[in-house]
Amino acid sequence: MKIDLKSPVSTAVAIGVGIIVLAGYFIPSFTNIRFILLRTGLVLSAVALLVGIINLITVHIKKLGADSENSGYSLILVIALLATLVIGIIDMVQTYLVGKPNFQMTSWIFKNIQLPIESSLLAVTAVSLTYAAASILRKRMDLFSIIFFFVVLLVLLGSFSIPPTTIPFLRVFREWILRVPALGGARGLLLGIALGTITTGIRILMGTDRPYGE
Amino acid sequence: MSATGFTGIVVIVLFVGLMVFFSFIDKDRKTYNIRPIPAYEKIIQEINVAVEDGTQLHISLGRGGITGPESAAALAGLGILKQVIEKSSVCDHPPVASTGNPVISILAQDTIKGSSKAISISDNIKNPSGELIGVTPFSYAAGTLSTIRNDNVSANIHTGWFGNEITWITTAGERQSSPTIAGTAQLPAQAVIYASASDPLIGEELYAGGAYLGAGKMHQASISAQDVIRWIIIFIILASVLLNILGIDVFIENILAGTM
């Protein structure tokens, strides 16, 4: 007879650790053990990052062999990942063994490749958001979408600060929108999210939701 | 113990009590009268379409981990992933999952493995993935685009922790003319989702997936418990407003502070 102990053990660990961490928020004597468990969790998250990267590289190496139109992107990803890894190791050796300034080459990669790419993507996001707001009425022509569209329009018009384009009435309207309905709506949504978060957490503590295998 | 700590314990105990109570009194009930959420109806509809057309669903779980405030959204996403896998067990191509967080990636793979074992999907090729796409917001969004553009993907479900970068993902789905169901716990991203997704999940709707996709009694009980707490909150807000209008709130505050 094969007895699978994985499931009850993982469930017991998840529930036990969850209850101690939760208790640490309310009962001062549990605070220290809560911090120890959270720090352990953070270290395990870092290990999970390594596992995730191994998974990422394995998936993309498999895609290289496949007859896929995206295999070129996979090749770029594998080359970039390996190059960054090698440069990181060289930097580490130079910093800790040779005594050169801290991680010069890695910093160069982040400043001159990662940062510009992420910044340009952020700029494109602004365009994408504008497109999404403009196309909402094409997607869903209902009362709430119409209200959403016109409120966005009026708040934008009320945001102008250069004198010829400022409209005093719209500025007052914008401030009222931001202070009253937007703030009230945001608080309502946050209350709903908080209630949902609590029930999700309780279901995991009770063991009825087990997102860690069966 | 501080007053905040005591209040926290009272809230948790109240929630647990209500959830156990509702799951107990509703244990023989076959149907539940919960308000329809179009996004979940769409998920069920799209699972049926995927079964009939031989296509597959794409589920992205966002960038949330398990040690921060974003964890509940990520775990809710994992719950929806589990239900979708179980419901699409007869699909030719099971769902494909993607994440932007290594811990959630491992949990997604574990969920997929567990659910696949439960529904007897033993073929490794058929098993859906749970791959880590990218660890920064934009690398994750850019990496997810290739999965969305896959012609075999008939619908995209984005449930988890996303920022404004979700506009890339939802807009790409709309361009492919594939239905996009999306929900997140981040407020600015919710506005983006409302504008760009065909079926948005607003506020707490993200956490109600289990109740709508048939995950069990406790999920339905948690919806009822939330409703009771919501009524209590509404009562407290209205009572506070009334006390404020009557000027009694200062009197009560003074009593509590012991300055009377």
Q: Output the pLDDT for position B77.
A: 92
Give the number of C-alpha atoms closer than 13 A to the C-alpha of residue A165, restricted to the C-beta side.
7
What's the distance, CA B38 to chain centroid?
Answer: 14
Distance CA B81, CA B219 (A): 15
Cross-chain Cβ contact A193/B185 below 8 Å? yes
Q: Which residue, chain included where needed, has tokens 């869903």?
A: A140
Mention every residue, 6+ apart, whose C-beta is less than 8 A from residue A50: B102
* A46 within a domain of the structure (yes/no): yes
- Residues A67-111: tens digit of each pLDDT: 667 788 888 888 999 999 999 888 888 877 777 767 788 888 889
Q: Output the pLDDT for position B133.
A: 86
- Residues A8-27: tens digit of each pLDDT: 888 888 889 888 988 888 88
- List, run by run, the mean pLDDT of 10-residue segments along chain B (260 residues): 80 92 79 84 91 88 85 91 85 84 88 70 55 85 87 90 90 88 92 90 91 88 93 92 82 66
Interchain CB contact of B89 with A (< 8 Å): no
Q: Output the pLDDT for position B116.
A: 67
Q: Output the pLDDT for position A4.
A: 59
Cross-chain Cβ contact A212/B204 below 8 Å? no
Interchain CB contact of B145 with A (< 8 Å): no
Distance CA A126, CA A119 (A): 11
Mention every residue, 6+ apart, whose C-beta is less than 8 A from residue B62: B70, B73, B74, B77, B99, B100, B101, B104, B158, B159, B160, B161, B162, B184
- Residues A30-40: tens digit of each pLDDT: 888 988 988 88
pLDDT at A189 over 90: yes
**Candidates A118, A186, A212; nearest CB to B107:** A212
* A59 within a domain of the structure (yes/no): yes
**Candidates A59, A118, A200; nearest CB to B131:** A59
Residues in B 92-121 with any Cβ partner in A closer than 8 A = 101-103, 105-107, 109-111, 113-115, 117-118
Cross-chain Cβ contact B204/A192 below 8 Å? yes
* A26 within a domain of the structure (yes/no): yes
Distance CA A167, CA A185 (A): 25
Q: Output the pLDDT for position B146.
A: 84
* A52 within a domain of the structure (yes/no): yes
Q: How many CB atoms lie within 10 A of CB B232?
A: 12
- Residues A148-179: tens digit of each pLDDT: 888 888 888 888 777 766 777 888 888 899 89
Residue A31: which domain range? 1-65
* A15 within a domain of the structure (yes/no): yes
**Candidates A59, A208, A212; nearest CB to B216:** A208
* A10 within a domain of the structure (yes/no): yes
| Backbone phi, psi, residue B180, to 5° | -125, 115
Cβ(B158)–Cβ(B60) below 8 Å: yes
Cross-chain Cβ contact B115/A214 below 8 Å? yes
Using CA atoms, how far residue B159 sits from A138, A172, B202, in Å, is 24, 37, 11
Identity at B151, one-letter amino acid code: D
Q: Output the pLDDT for position B13.
A: 92
Nearest Cα neighbor of B157 from B93, B34, B51, B62 is: B62
Q: Residue A7's closest chain B neighbor by CA? A: B114
Predicted ipTM?
A: 0.88
Distance CA B158, CA B184 (A): 8
* A25 within a domain of the structure (yes/no): yes
Domains in chain A: how many in total? Answer: 1
| Backbone phi, psi, residue A26, to 5° | -105, -35
Q: How far is B208 from chain A (nearest CA, A)?
A: 7
Six-digit token pair at B154? 């008939």
Report the phi/psi class of residue A103: left, alpha or beta, with left for phi > 0 and alpha for psi in -120 to 50. left
